[in-house]
Structure 1
């Protein structure tokens, strides 16, 4: 099984695991948990999805 650490903004947010010719994202940070278990064709596609998700997320109330 191949896996790679996925970083966003210089911080690790999860890992991508090769599965049936795709990359399955396993989130390790709460702010990307909605993308957990999603499959992507490339690491670039995954990172773009993370960027869109983070930029569209509503701030959490304290």
Structure 2
């Protein structure tokens, strides 16, 4: 694993945690940051999680060859 893929993987983990936290906040009834802000965080964190993970996998595969 390269430093770049490690950073991308860490970013993927952080954004996944943000997505799960946002889902729990929205399901609790009254999110601390408000429904709009929490919804925006959720909407941004899902594609960022997928994108960072795929970029980390691509970088690791490219450096194994």
If the length of structure 2 is used for normalisation, what is the TM-score?
Answer: 0.31
Structure (1 or 2) with the greater strand fraction: 1
If the length of structure 1 is used for normalisation, what is the TM-score?
Answer: 0.31
Structure (1 or 2) with the greater helix fraction: 2
Q: Which has the larger radius of gyration?
A: 2
Asked which structure has the greater RCO (Cα within 8 Å, sep 6+), the reply is: 2
